[in-house]
Chains A and B, each alone.
Chain A
Amino acid sequence: MKKHLTRRGDGALIEMTSEEIMIALEAGTEDAADRGKIAPLSKDDLECLLDIFMDTNRVVSVAHGEEVVVTHDIGTLRLMGDQGNSGVGIPLSRLQGIQVHERAFCSDTMELGHIDYSFKPVKPVIAMEQQEMESALLSTIIPLFYGAMPNLGTYYSPDGPFGNPSDLLPAGKVKEAYEAQESAVEHATRDMVYVGQKLAQVGCDGINFDTTGAAGDADFKATLHAVEKLKKTTDLTVQVGMAGEFVLGMHGGLEYGGRRLAGLYCHDQVKLAEKAGADIFGPAVNTKPSKDMPWNLARAVTFVKACVEVSNIPVHVNMGMGVGGIPVFETPPIDAVSRASKAMVQIAKVDGL
């Protein structure tokens, strides 16, 4: 029986028959449907996915006229950064990096980001960031976001003023862990609003909250409060990109708008982002390295399709290494990336990547 080349979730090249691919697709969509309490992909959707995997071309693409907008994370660090940010170490200024994205990579949008890429360390150097944003805005045409991570972890010891829930919880200090997270929400919200307002003053087009929820429900709550405040006080576009497929309940009892945050999947997350005033939402669905790519992509498309269907704002799905059906590998194979792109546009009907 004919075998088709595809990938394992860790990026390794494997061979599967069309029957094996279809079995994996069905299992992947059922897994998402079961976890998210959402509809699995239809038979037509699964057939479309099968066609994408059976295409013998190395690179596949959407049809003419189906193209979508691409937004970013990590700013220009992918050019001048070190391996910790998947950077390639080219000695360019951030302004040069933005111009390279606009004029050489033909990016639809771009963003400026601090070398640490978290909001907290930006606060003391905000004038530097404003200055860089001002220069970039004068010399570029594409919309420019300022990107950073809420990263509540920076508010806990040893880096921040509050006790670390990861130390407090195993020690049985539940009340202290709750209080530390609640305090961190207040401080992080204040810092994110401060940074956003300062950038709005110099004409920044938008703020990208990247990897929201990485430190759990408190991280998501702080971001939603910051979004709400920034939308009320500035003209900034706000993009909320998530860190993982569901919100970790590091606190467990935190709510926004009367909704408990812990355990929410992307089709529920987007409704809260909308409520806070966000303009663009970026769902993230984790890739399982031990499973094959058909299983992972069917699962990711199922979650994201449900998110797109309930959303009233544009959905730009996270499609980096290890999310959105793309292998958990720092330099993902182009056959895998292009297949995931095509599936998200044609089946999940995303508004952007």
Chain B
Amino acid sequence: MGMLIAHGVAAGMGGIRTAGDLVARMQMTRKMRINEARAYVATKLKISPSDLSDVYVMREVREELDIGIITSVPGCAKGIEAKARIAQLLDIEIASVNRLKNKINF
């Protein structure tokens, strides 16, 4: 487990603390290589690719876009709410979000 944290500190993007989940989604849904995925997400967020892993920049960006932040702030989008906004922001399909839409569309 310490190994996981060591990799994260040495070379990881930082998850929802930064934009790690967003870049991961572009690799997963479009098979994008790392530079292409970073560029795509940066364009959508209107920031530079190097800002994607800067927590100072990303904290504000995530809060403004309401796509989920690392600390527990009442009223901010959580879980599936944040993912629904991420799907729209990145113009991708997220299966669990589609499932929710199907469930509430009665």
Contact = CB atoms under 8 A, between A and B. Distances in A.
B28 A68 contact: no
Judged by DSSP, the binding face of B is helix
Interface string B74-103: 000011101100100000011111111000
Given A59-B9, A138-B79, A203 B99 contact: yes
A258 to B, nearest CB: 23
A157 interface: no
A65 B70 contact: no
Given A321-B3, A353-B7, A67 B27 contact: no
Given A205-B95, A314-B31, A71 B24 contact: yes
B8 A106 contact: yes
Contact of B11 (A67, A106, A280, A326): A67
Given A64-B53, A68-B34, A109-B21, A143 B12 contact: no
Residue with the highest number of chain B CB atoms closer than 10 Å, among A109, A141, A338, A342: A141
B47 to A, nearest CB: 12
A141 to B, nearest CB: 4
Contacts of B83: 141
B89 to A, nearest CB: 12
A122 B99 CA distance: 23
Contacts of B12: 67-70, 106-108, 353
Contacts of A61: 9-11
B45 interface: no
Contacts of B15: 102, 105-108, 142
Contact of A205 (B11, B96, B100): B96
Nearest to B99: A203
A64 B50 contact: yes
Contacts of A109: 20-21, 24, 28
A70 B20 contact: yes
A67 B68 contact: no
Interface residues of B, number: 53
A106 B54 CA distance: 13
Given A105-B8, A143-B21, A65 B79 contact: no
B16 A314 contact: no
A314 B24 CA distance: 10
Contacts of B96: 137-138, 202-205
B13 A68 contact: yes
A79 interface: yes
A66 interface: yes
Given A203-B99, A204-B95, A62 B10 contact: yes
B27 A102 contact: no
B2 A106 contact: no
A350 B13 CA distance: 13
A345 B34 CA distance: 11
Contacts of A352: 24, 27, 34
Given A105-B5, A142-B21, A341-B11, A314 B27 contact: yes
B104 interface: no
29 contacts: A65-B50, A67-B13, A68-B11, A68-B12, A70-B4, A70-B7, A105-B8, A106-B18, A106-B70, A138-B96, A141-B16, A141-B67, A143-B24, A143-B28, A203-B97, A204-B96, A205-B96, A235-B95, A279-B31, A280-B27, A280-B31, A319-B3, A319-B7, A321-B3, A337-B3, A337-B7, A341-B11, A352-B24, A353-B11
